[in-house]
Amino acid sequence: MSYNKMPSITAETINPKVRMFTYEPCGEIVRHARLLEQEIYDNPGSLPFQEIIYCNLGNPQALGQQPINFFREVLSLCDNPPLIYRDEARALFSACALKRANRILESLPAKDSGSYTSSQGVRSLRQVVADGIAARDGFPSRAEDIFLTDGASSAINMMMQILIRSPEDSILCPLPEYPLYSGSIILHGGTMVPYYLTEDNGWGLEIFEVKRCLEDARASGLTVRAMVVINPGNPTGQVLSMTSQEEIVEFCRKEGLVILADEVYQDNVYTENKKFNSFKKVARSLGYDQEDLSVVSFHSVSMGYYGECGRRGGYMEICGFGSEVIDEIYKLSSLTICPNIAGQILISLIMDPPKLGDESFETFMTEKEETYSSLLKSAKTLQKAFSSLEGVSCNKFEGAMYLFPRLRLPPLAIRAAELEGVSPDVFYAHRLLGATGIAVVPGSGFHPVSGTSHIRCTILPGEEKIAAMVPRLRAFHEAFMEEFRG
Ligand SMILES: Cc1ncc(COP(=O)(O)O)c(C=O)c1O
């Protein structure tokens, strides 16, 4: 019997949309880093460094951020219900962790963490999230508007599935962007309409620029359905001013656009004169209700002082969609049956952490503040280091977890990059990695204004690591500039 020995599925025959997008934070730079890591393992001492410092991804705990003890206590108890009733548990776990775990278990199917739940997430956990949102914003929130999700990424993908019907359907997205957006829009067959953030204005958002992009898109026959706003921003680290947020709300209401508010860095704000305001709160403060404007807010367990990104937890709060649409979103979420339970529990804990008077409160606050101050110190040191380098200017660190310094490289370096067939930022990032073991993401992966070069460096906690990193960075940069000065 003869049969075709060629694989029927090749890179050429898969869905071409999958090949069209890139996701640089986990792309070439990581492949390069893994090769170097293998080299360190196979031939110790063969490279000028002993470890790779992964500043490519916002992966807080992998970079040394400590988990919050209360969250971990509750998670372990929920995974081991019999522990709650053992005498030793009183010595090992705080009373409020025992109480919280007991309350959560009571609401889970079969009082255990191993079953499927409602596709929207456990009702009582959604209620806790809604209450947390209401307490944060000062405006009501309803459990029926909350979908618990496997991280913000799955919620964002779900919204793209809901909103994109054809290639004409398009979504306004900030550039530089977090590449999940371009990837997801391509995958779902829509069109991304970029609007540029202004680097010279602290990566602020100019509403006239967004309006110009919307008008151009409409003139070319596109149907713009939504506007993505990432606040605090990734990769740009800015926190939007209240004026800017109000302008966005007014604009989206007038133009009939859904606001897709990516608020995963809401607990990463480091500037004293700005604070996080959810878009829903801004809309309600301006007097707009469900009927006036649709806002979807995404949050996650991944970042902030909790940094539990491996748990894959999050929520989206959907305001201003009719109940028939909510039913369809429910159906869509039921394709993956339910979000994972640890993630559901964790997002409820983040939205309702220990309060003043709870036994765990002081420890919780100490842990939280230690993480903040460590990240802030690191950010300041790194920002100062980048700004002091020849040909480099660095954005002010206001929020999120990244610095996005701009590189002005000598013409000879740009020429050398051209000869290698890569952009100058890619050339620089790989050289930096090869010489120091520091993995940063070439800025072109976030699609900034063409002709500019940046790198994105994740802030890692821990003074010792930063102290070791800065001289390496400086020595590399000086040697690089010297080599290509001409
Ligand atoms: C702006 C932004 N949105 C969404 C996500 C995805 O978060 P999650 O881990 O919850 O899927 C990230 C992760 O880095 C992010 O930076």
CATH of the domain at 319: 3.40.640.10
Q: Answer yes or no: do 283 and 305 share one domain.
A: yes
Integer Cα distance of 61 and 75 in angstroms: 17
- Contact between 430 and 44 under an 8 Å Cβ cutoff? The reply is no
Q: Answer yes or no: do 335 and 309 share one domain.
A: yes
Burial zone of 125 (CB within 10 Å; 0-12 exposed, 13-18 middle, 19+ buried): buried
Query: Is residue 157 within 6 Å of ligand 1 at its C-beta?
Result: no
Specify the pLDDT at position 272: 87
The verdict on residue 316 lying in a domain is: yes
The verdict on residue 5 lying in a domain is: no
Q: What Rg value do the Cα atoms of the chain yield, rounded?
A: 24
Q: Answer yes or no: do 255 and 388 share one domain.
A: no
Query: Is residue 309 within 6 Å of ligand 1 at its C-beta?
Result: yes
Among the candidates 316, 351, 386, a domain finishes at: 351
Q: Answer yes or no: do 474 and 452 share one domain.
A: yes
Collect the ranges in the chain with pLDDT lower than 50.
none
- Report the separation in Å between the CA atom of 56 and the middle of ligand 1, taken as the mean of its atom positions: 13
Specify the pLDDT at position 140: 98
Specify the pLDDT at position 3: 66
Work out which ligand 1 atom sits closest to the CA atom of 314.
10
Specify the pLDDT at position 160: 98
Q: How far is CA 478 from CA 22, 395, 473, in A?
A: 31, 20, 9
Integer Cα distance of 80 and 87 in angstroms: 14
Number of domains, the chain: 2
Specify the pLDDT at position 376: 93
CATH number at residue 479: 3.90.1150.10
Q: Answer yes or no: do 309 and 337 share one domain.
A: yes
Query: Is residue 234 within 6 Å of ligand 1 at its C-beta?
Result: yes
Integer Cα distance of 266 and 233 in angstroms: 10
Q: Answer yes or no: do 401 and 339 share one domain.
A: no
The verdict on residue 2 lying in a domain is: no
Determine which helix (DSSP H) or strand (DSSP E) holds 148, and give its type and residue range. strand 146-149
Burial zone of 10 (CB within 10 Å; 0-12 exposed, 13-18 middle, 19+ buried): exposed
Query: Is residue 147 within 6 Å of ligand 1 at its C-beta?
Result: no
What phi, psi does 302 have (nearest 5°)? -75, -35
Determine which helix (DSSP H) or strand (DSSP E) holds 2, and give its type and residue range. none
Work out which ligand 1 atom sits closest to the CA atom of 234.
1
- Report the separation in Å between the CA atom of 323 and the middle of ligand 1, taken as the mean of its atom positions: 27
Query: Is residue 300 within 6 Å of ligand 1 at its C-beta?
Result: yes
DSSP lists the bridge partners of residue 439 as 54
Work out which ligand 1 atom sits closest to the CA atom of 230.
1
pTM of the complete model: 0.95
Q: Give the list of residues 6+ apart from residue 59 with CB closer than 8 angstroms, or none.
A: 309, 458
Among the candidates 302, 327, 351, a domain finishes at: 351
Integer Cα distance of 275 and 272 in angstroms: 7
Work out which ligand 1 atom sits closest to the CA atom of 58.
14
Among 159, 231, 234, 447, which is best to mutate for testing ligand 1, by the most ligand atoms less than 8 A from CB? 234
Specify the pLDDT at position 27: 87
pLDDT tens, position by position, 38-80: 999 999 999 999 999 999 999 999 888 999 999 999 999 999 9
Q: Answer yes or no: do 180 and 321 share one domain.
A: yes
138, two tokens? 């000062």
Query: Is residue 405 within 6 Å of ligand 1 at its C-beta?
Result: no
- Report the separation in Å between the CA atom of 343 and the middle of ligand 1, taken as the mean of its atom positions: 14
DSSP 204: B
Long-range contacts of 423-428 (CB under 8 A, 24+ apart): 423/453, 424/453, 425/453, 425/454, 425/455, 426/28, 428/453, 428/455, 428/480
Instruction: Give the closest residue to 73 by CA, choosing from 360, 455, 418.
Output: 360
Domain that holds residue 320: 104-351
3-class secondary-structure state, position 451: coil
Q: Answer yes or no: do 337 and 379 share one domain.
A: no
Q: Answer yes or no: do 462 and 388 share one domain.
A: yes
The verdict on residue 221 lying in a domain is: yes
Q: Answer yes or no: do 223 and 291 share one domain.
A: yes
Among the candidates 311, 328, 351, a domain finishes at: 351
Q: What would the DSSP string read from start to end of 211-273?
A: HHHHHHHHHTT-EEEEEEEESS-TTT-----HHHHHHHHHHHHHHTPEEEEE-TTTT-B--TT
Work out which ligand 1 atom sits closest to the CA atom of 152.
10
Query: Is residue 294 within 6 Å of ligand 1 at its C-beta?
Result: no
The verdict on residue 324 lying in a domain is: yes
Specify the pLDDT at position 462: 84
The verdict on residue 84 lying in a domain is: no
The verdict on residue 359 lying in a domain is: no
Q: Answer yes or no: do 372 and 413 share one domain.
A: yes
Integer Cα distance of 25 and 351 in angstroms: 28
Q: Answer yes or no: do 336 and 394 share one domain.
A: no
Query: Is residue 178 within 6 Å of ligand 1 at its C-beta?
Result: yes
Among 158, 236, 263, 303, which is best to mutate for testing ligand 1, by the most ligand atoms less than 8 A from CB? 303
10 Å Cβ neighbour count for 253?
18
In one letter, which amino acid is 57?
A: L
Burial zone of 473 (CB within 10 Å; 0-12 exposed, 13-18 middle, 19+ buried): buried
> How is the beta sheet containing 258-262 ordered, strand by strand?
146-149, 314-319, 295-300, 258-262, 223-230, 169-175, 191-196
Query: Is residue 307 within 6 Å of ligand 1 at its C-beta?
Result: no
Distance in Å from the first CA to the final CA of the chain:
66
Specify the pLDDT at position 23: 85
The verdict on residue 357 lying in a domain is: no
